[in-house]
Chain A
Amino acid sequence: MITDPDRFRQDKSPYERPNFPFRCGRLSFWGKPCGRGPSSEGSCGGVSECSPYFNNDRWECRRSVRSGGPCETGPLPDGKCCNQHAACKPIPSLRNYRARFTMLAAALVVALIAAFSFYGDDARAINTVNPGELSGAHSKFTSAGGCATCHEPHDQDAATWLKAAWSPGTLSQSCESCHTFDGAATAPHNETFKTAGGERQTKCTMCHTEHKGDNTSIVKLADQQCSACHEKAFESFSNGHPAFSDTYPSRRRTAIAFDHTNHFGKHFEDPRFVDRAPKDRCVTCHDAGLSGRNVPVKSFEQTCAGCHEDQIGGRELVVFALPEFEENPFDIAAVREACGPSVASLEQAGEIVDTVQERMADITEAAALKEDLKKLRFDLGMGDGDAPESDEEYESVSLEVLPATAIMLLGLEDGEDMAEYSEPVGELVMGMVESGGEALMEKVDGKPGAATLFSGLSSDLLHQVGCAWAANEEYEAPAEAVAGGWFADALSLRYRPVRHGDPVAKAWVDLAAAGGEGVSDDMRDTILSQSDGPGACVKCHSVNEVKDKPDSLQIAWSLGAVSKQRHVRYSHVPHLNLLGLGQACETCHKMDENAEFAASFKQFNPLEFASNFKSIDNQTCVGCHAEGEVRQECTLCHEYHNGHGFKHRMTEAGLPADIPSPKETGG
């Protein structure tokens, strides 16, 4: 029901138009609006009740019917309406207010955007461009470079800026300004895979999201996302993860051939050594304090030395031995000049003096006497020129053969042909006489470890030894060699390792293992022999073949080789903290008493091995890492990147000036 429908007929009341911008101001005082209403500009239209019409020389009232029709008084003589009212102040309609508020809101927002769009260039700047605080690490070193450290500024002109909205971004390329990888940054796992997945190009922003706050991780990778490339999808580690390899976690044999089974089951049970058995089991030899992916083995002195140190010094290497000669290969005059009279020659000189005295009684032997005096002068080191001729047949003081190392040094094919080795041996010994160690250093020049092979060898020793041998005499050492190092006995030059890890012994073992020119099988067998000589090193240190060098071998000197499985990560620390030390290690690492551990070290392929321990299978880990228990997401054990590093040192002072911006690098 309308209060009074008849009252709102078109001839009784004005037609309401809510879409008009203004309404009669009388409404604001809750009065009746005038019949004419305000203009569209907002001025009062009701000052007069009508606009008189000039018709037949008369002004006629034109007041509308709804306002009461023509008035009795009629228009004034000048044509104005006789019913004049004070002007009202029209009020805006609701629609008008809404439009005004909407425009005001729009203008305000646009103004604020314009004012704060690029206000400040800091990562913490208050502007509309900054979508949020950076993570702690990134915010520190981008404070100097601002947003342009990572983002292309597009600041040439407005058109360029707007055009960038439809251009591919370069954000991921900016990451490479600081971050480095062992492979291409845009390759999956920074690797070049042969499978189809390797063709996919990746972006840093696929997994890393910035501007999420100071304490927020920028890496949020769920297990399901790994299936974006990995075709074999599975629910979780505890449910469907591919089985570990049959030898996990070992991928190759250990560097040291330490037979855990043999030691724990045999040696440490032996009453003679039981007091040396490790009291704390594994951590007696493995340093849990340095544990990470591996638990490194303590030093030799802290572990093996307790039983095996005495076995180091007893190994000698015969580097050179004076061989047997048919004829004297040495220039006696030169030797005498360089060495002076030897003991033997002085004894001979005494004998000649006796002979001269006898012959002086019979002067008729003048010629023979003259010859004796010449010999006498020579023996006393006073003679010039060639040695006097001797009727005595040359008899070599040595009956030895050349050792394999000497054959290598002299570059001989074999050491049995006297005619072949006499001259080079003679030259070498004369070199020892005249220049000491230089003669030997020349022989190993260019070989691996050349600088170390004769390290510590005294030139005086070589001179004395050379003089003795050149004089066809045995060298008489002033005292018996007890300590390690270089020494000579009657007819040979030898080296005895001073301690474990002796560099000279290692250099000779490395040289023999590496092979190459001059290194014969005989030399390699001699040096690498486990029974005697320095080759005892390889009783514990494994000997491995070298990739792409079929004739070369390599000694594994280093302990605790770190696994190079690039995309697998593991830390013993939380496990040791949880399980405790000692026997807790054996929760996962169970010894395999049936493994042919030692046998695998008799050949050189490190990948053919039998571990001392049983392989660890998934179920060992699933015992804890399972649904509802300990974490088991992919990234807990798998590292996505390959060899992640930084180009520059990160400092709180900001990005170093020499870091090129993405724009400079064309990124």
Chain B
Amino acid sequence: MAQGRSSGAIVTFGVLSIAVFAAAAWASHKAWLDLGDPSIITGYVLLVIMLSLGFFNVRKRMSMVPLGSARFWLAFHVAAGLLAIAMFWLHAGLVWPIGLYERVLTSLFYLVSITGLLGYGISRMLPRRLAQTEIEIIYERIPAEIAEIREKVEALVFECTEKTGSDTVAKHYIGTLNWFFSRPRFWVSHVVGGDAAGHWLRGPGVAARRYLNDPEVEYFDQVIELGELKCLIDRHYACQGLLKKWLLVHVPLSMAVIIMAVWHFILVNVYSL
């Protein structure tokens, strides 16, 4: 239901963006026909769009103020971001400008656009993959969760050693499994949707099982079961981390672009208009 409302908002803002773009293109073309400067119109529209895009981040900090739902703002941000790319090309008239400052500004704008598109892409793709894990976990609690799993595993290994009098499981844990349980692993595989962690667990992870007696197998299977749980947590860690960390690139670049655009706006008004 929420997914449907989100798509509806995106479509609504998408249509609005197309309308704004068409209006700006028509107005700039009319100005061009009238020997005016079409880049003035497109420039002002682009600046307003950029500032409104930047306001998305401000809105997150002002969650106490009823400024609309996050879904609404995300849809607006996505549509306005695409509109900004189109408006940028309309404004600059070129994919790659001439001046050094304009080139730096353009480079940053393209980086912001690319990171934004990638961010939107992963925000559409990774949550589905996380839902398939059938567990929910808060990103900030993942280290504690892993620590607790590690404690449980180590407790099982101790108990196994004490009860069975064999240290095969303990040695296997120290030599192999400890690496896996010490921290999240297989980050890349989890991000791209691979199952390297599962393969590892079913390969090197269970390699010692054939050498265990029946009581040891019982403990060992519990350890592997916890390992499979950790695989799911690792997947959350990788995917949730990426969903958060791409903003470490996108937001600072956006700030740089906005500052450079404002300076560009001032310079144009001082020296050109």
By a beta-carbon cutoff of 8 Å, the part of chain A in contact with chain B is 1-3, 7-8, 13, 16, 18, 23, 26-27, 30-33, 94, 97-98, 101-102, 104-106, 108-110, 113, 126-133, 147, 151-152, 154, 161-162, 164-166, 168-169, 171, 202, 205-207, 211-213, 216, 224-225, 227-228
Contact = CB atoms under 8 A, between A and B. Distances in A.
A354 to B, nearest CB: 104
B145 A13 contact: no
Nearest to A104: B252
B48 interface: no
Interface string B183-219: 1100000000000000000000000000000000000
A133 B102 CA distance: 12
B35 A151 contact: no
Interface in B232-273: 233, 244-245, 247-248, 251-253, 255-256, 259-260, 263, 266-267, 269-273
Nearest to B108: A109
Interface of B: 32-37, 97-102, 134-141, 143-148, 150, 182-184, 229, 233, 244-245, 247-248, 251-253, 255-256, 259-260, 263, 266-267, 269-273
Contact of B35 (A33, A169, A207): A207
Contacts of A212: 98
B34 A228 contact: yes
A18 B140 contact: yes
A3 B267 contact: no
B248 A94 contact: yes
B182 A130 contact: no
A104 B33 CA distance: 43
B144 A32 contact: yes
A97 to B, nearest CB: 6
Contact of B147 (A32, A109, A162): A32
A1 B150 CA distance: 20
A169 B33 contact: no
Contacts of B245: 94
A306 to B, nearest CB: 55
Contacts of B229: 3
Nearest to A188: B35
B94 to A, nearest CB: 9
A463 to B, nearest CB: 74
Contacts of B101: 127-131
A258 B251 CA distance: 81
A151 B273 CA distance: 11
A216 B93 CA distance: 14
A131 B35 contact: no
Contacts of A227: 33
B223 to A, nearest CB: 17
A131 B99 contact: yes
Given A27-B144, A109-B256, A113-B263, A225 B269 contact: no
Contacts of A206: 35-36
A225 B32 contact: yes
Given A16-B138, A129-B271, A164-B270, A106 B255 contact: yes
Contact of A128 (B36, B253, B267, B269): B267
A3 B137 contact: yes
B186 to A, nearest CB: 15
B252 A105 contact: yes
Contacts of A165: 266, 269-270
Contact of A130 (B100, B141, B244, B260): B100
Contacts of A171: 271-272
A635 B141 CA distance: 71
B97 A101 contact: no
Given A3-B135, A131-B102, A205-B37, 19 more contacts: A1-B134, A2-B137, A8-B138, A16-B138, A18-B139, A18-B140, A32-B143, A32-B148, A101-B248, A106-B252, A130-B101, A132-B102, A147-B271, A165-B269, A169-B273, A206-B36, A224-B33, A227-B33, A228-B33
Contacts of B150: 30
